[in-house]
Chains A and B, each alone.
Chain A
Amino acid sequence: MANNKESKPLMTGYMMSTQLLEIDGCNRCQECMKWCPTFAVRPDRPGITPMYKNARWRELQAKSHSLRAKIFGPKPLNEDEMKAFTEDVYYCTTCGVCGTVCEAGIKTVDLWEAMRPNLVDRGNGPYGKQSFFPKLVKADRNPYQAKQEDRLCWVPKDAKVEESGEIVYFAGCTAAYRQQALGVATVRILNKLNVDFAMLGKDEWCCASAMVRTGQRAVMAEHAVHNVDALKDAGAKNVLFACAGCLRNAAIDWPQWYEGYIPYETMPLSVFLRDKIRNGEVEYKIPLNYTVTYHDPCHNGRHLMHLKGKDWAFEASRECIESIPGVKFKDMVRNRALQRCCGAGGGVKAGIPDLALDMAKARVKDGEEVQADIIASTCPFCRRNIMDGRNDAKSNIKVLDVVELMAASMGLDMTIPENPYTKFQEQDVLVCGPSVCKVETVERKEPGKDIVGEAH
């Protein structure tokens, strides 16, 4: 029986007309199926692959926009079909490997992100706990129900952080509240290199990446405009990001929501540090005798390579790792533009956690295949998810951020000051003596998990 919802057609409101063209441009070559990391762990569900999603969209749209519909009138959408299609669309981490390999040159990430708000408006999306994102972020300006006043609670007392300046470090919610070791390492390195930099403190709001990725755009405008204005007010000329998710949003999404002039450059921290290494400003003291591999975050890599170039997207982080004494660097088989997504993106970690976990295990396996001791990355969400995958797979592999590896080898004090969020810390950390560093795992002291987890 058709109900009111069924009579509502598939909406195209958030799709650009060239995106509707793209759907018909799919020539079903199947290349996306070979690379899709979601399909790799759910081979029984071909519907989640781009080729089938495009075909399904065509079928659903044809119910109201086809020659048949024109002659005989539109057909109502079947709610079961819509439910299945919604699942298929949300079973995607928007990693974008399909776009990289697409013979038709379809910009798939933009396409999926344009489909989702239509599903949200129609009442089909978002998926699972993803619906908490806007509520949490709207209420607290971060997804962890943490206080904005505590944004800098982890900064060591002796660290020098300005309130304004040309260089601004945008830490992001996860480094501020859940992976503070990353924040401490970043601040320590910048101080050691005598870089005068500022942080926004309570004026730093969530980048709102999770909202855009899941098709819930309502909060986005407010956060994009606020953050850009806050950075402008701070006098930023160069904004550094140690979080791939925030970086993608600041570089690609915010400018689409901000109408004024944006006077600053957005830069991955690894690029900034790579320049310092090349200038001979970085001095290492302790060798790290580990085999390290690098996981390219989708947001920092594929999503950014056309805006910032492949060197920024892929090579800078590798150069940082390779510069560390003692490190034996090995790339995983799937790397750079063809890397395998860890499974945390696109709201999947919050919406379909078992899928995210299976994808993370696949990535851990990739790391094990090259006998890596450490999987390094530049994304707190990749790190979180790969750690979860590692734990579930009972692997010995460790997961760390590139910045932390550098800070440890530079002999910097990475002690996190006691703060209200210490109990939520759960991460692999490097504990260093005068001449050697060891990787240890910090267990979370407070039981339970966050409402939506650490996910973009």
Chain B
Amino acid sequence: MAFYTLGLTFDLVILLTVIVLAVWIYGIYFNFKKWGLGSTGYHDQLRNSFWLFIATWIHEAFKEGVWVFLRTVVLDVLLLRRTLARSPVRWVMHMCMFYGFLTLAALSGLGLMIDIVEHFNLLGLAEQAEIAKEALSLPFDIFGYLLLIGSTIAVSRRILLKFVRDNTTAYDAFLIGAVFLITITGFYAEWMRGNALLVGNAFEFPIYAPHFALIHTVLALGLFAFVLPWTKYIHVIATPMTLLANRGGE
């Protein structure tokens, strides 16, 4: 793996991953518990229950049947219909970021699984795992560019549009900046390895590639576990859940 540098070993990476996942899962549990401070119905008594939040959410999401739920999943969660209705530019931005972010996260998880297979030669598939890992580099590049486009639009909007700029808080700036930084460091790590999509060997610097990869990984995991559940970034989870609970909203 490219980021096995500066003393980082495979075992350490696994340990870090476990810690990150544990922090993330606790963060999600913490938020669910916080949402559970509410009641289960209009003017109903306070329940204060993690499980009743889940029950209330399921009740609300499926209130009008499974087809309405599925329609909301496709039109509102996956295709961001409400965003498209308001601003096509913001829709492009969100679609790029949403699919870029989610797919890269999924690919990273898959990459880690393949690494584990390769490292322990599980089922004697080490060689195939190596090939599979190589095959992942193209989708990594494509979805990376998608995220780059989205985060570039996000940063540009905040800089160029006066109304948006005036109402941008330090909080917004930090979070959008963080995504942009993670995307850029990811690209730098990839470009430095050489033979990268679109830029070829223009930025090739293989000695420092692992360092950049490490910075990128630490930033991405930090954002995932230590920022996402504890800041406004929880909207990545809460917005789709809201859309589903409200059956697409008003």
Decide: B250 and A302 in contact? CB cutoff 8 A: yes
The smallest beta-carbon distance between A292 and chain B, in angstroms, is 28
Tell me the complex Cα distance, A26–B237, Å: 11
Interface string of B144-187 (1 = CB under 8 A from A): 00000000000000000001100100001000000000000000
Which stretch in B3-11, B79-87, B104-112, B193-201 binds the other chain? B79-87
The smallest beta-carbon distance between A267 and chain B, in angstroms, is 21
Question: Of all chain B residues, which has the CB nearest A35?
Answer: B86
Q: What range describes how many residues of A lie at the interface?
A: 35 or more
- The reply on B232 being an interface residue by CB < 8 A is yes
Would A104 and B243 be within 8 Å (CB), given that A16-B39, A17-B38 are in contact?
yes
Decide: B167 and A105 in contact? CB cutoff 8 A: no
Question: Of all chain A residues, which has the CB nearest B237?
Answer: A24
Best-surrounded residue of B76, B230, B238, B241 (most CB of chain A within 10 A) = B238
Decide: B242 and A22 in contact? CB cutoff 8 A: yes
Decide: B232 and A13 in contact? CB cutoff 8 A: no
Decide: B238 and A24 in contact? CB cutoff 8 A: yes
- The reply on B34 being an interface residue by CB < 8 A is yes
Decide: A105 and B40 in contact? CB cutoff 8 A: no
Would A31 and B86 be within 8 Å (CB), given that A17-B52, A25-B242 are in contact?
yes
Question: Of all chain B residues, which has the CB nearest A30?
Answer: B167
Interface hits, B21-76 → A, CB 8 Å: 30-31, 34-44, 46-47, 52-53, 56-57, 60, 76
Return chain A residues, CB-CB under 8 Å to B60: 18
Question: Of all chain B residues, which has the CB nearest A54?
Answer: B232
Tell me the complex Cα distance, A108–B242, Å: 12
Tell me the complex Cα distance, A65–B50, Å: 14
Return chain A residues, CB-CB under 8 Å to B87: 31
Decide: B43 and A256 in contact? CB cutoff 8 A: yes
- The reply on B248 being an interface residue by CB < 8 A is yes
Tell me the complex Cα distance, A22–B234, Å: 11
Which stretch in A95-103, A173-181, A268-276 binds the other chain? A95-103
Tell me the complex Cα distance, A16–B239, Å: 16
Decide: B39 and A106 in contact? CB cutoff 8 A: no
- The reply on A394 being an interface residue by CB < 8 A is no
Return chain B residues, CB-CB under 8 Å to A333: none
Tell me the complex Cα distance, A192–B232, Å: 59
Tell me the complex Cα distance, A108–B44, Å: 19
Return chain A residues, CB-CB under 8 Å to B83: 29, 103
Decide: A105 and B76 in contact? CB cutoff 8 A: yes
Question: Of all chain B residues, which has the CB nearest A23?
Answer: B238
Question: Of all chain A residues, which has the CB nearest B82?
Answer: A103
Return chain A residues, CB-CB under 8 Å to B239: 25, 27, 103-104
- The reply on A160 being an interface residue by CB < 8 A is no
- The reply on A328 being an interface residue by CB < 8 A is no
Interface string of A95-132 (1 = CB under 8 A from B): 01001111111111000000000000000000000000
Name A18's contact: one of B34, B56, B76 (CB within 8 Å). Answer: B56
Tell me the complex Cα distance, A18–B242, Å: 7
Return chain B residues, CB-CB under 8 Å to A257: 43
- The reply on A21 being an interface residue by CB < 8 A is yes
Interface string of B217-250 (1 = CB under 8 A from A): 0000000000000101011001101110110111
The smallest beta-carbon distance between A116 and chain B, in angstroms, is 13
Return chain B residues, CB-CB under 8 Å to A102: 82, 249-250
Question: Of all chain B residues, which has the CB nearest A46?
Answer: B167
Decide: B86 and A30 in contact? CB cutoff 8 A: no
Q: Can you list 22 A-B contacts with CB-CB less than 8 angstroms, sorted by A residue number? A: A14-B43, A17-B52, A17-B57, A18-B53, A18-B246, A20-B34, A21-B35, A21-B53, A21-B242, A25-B235, A25-B242, A26-B232, A31-B86, A31-B87, A61-B34, A101-B86, A103-B80, A103-B90, A104-B238, A106-B249, A257-B43, A306-B250
Which residue numbers of B lie inside 8 Å of A, CB to CB? 30-31, 34-44, 46-47, 52-53, 56-57, 60, 76, 80, 82-83, 86-87, 90, 94, 163-164, 167, 172, 230, 232, 234-235, 238-239, 241-243, 245-246, 248-250
- New A-B contacts (17) at CB < 8 Å, excluding given A12-B46, A25-B243, A51-B167: A12-B38, A15-B39, A16-B39, A18-B56, A18-B60, A21-B238, A21-B242, A25-B235, A25-B239, A27-B232, A28-B172, A104-B242, A106-B242, A106-B249, A107-B249, A108-B250, A217-B43
Closest 6 CB pairs of A and B: A105-B249, A25-B242, A17-B38, A24-B238, A25-B238, A17-B53
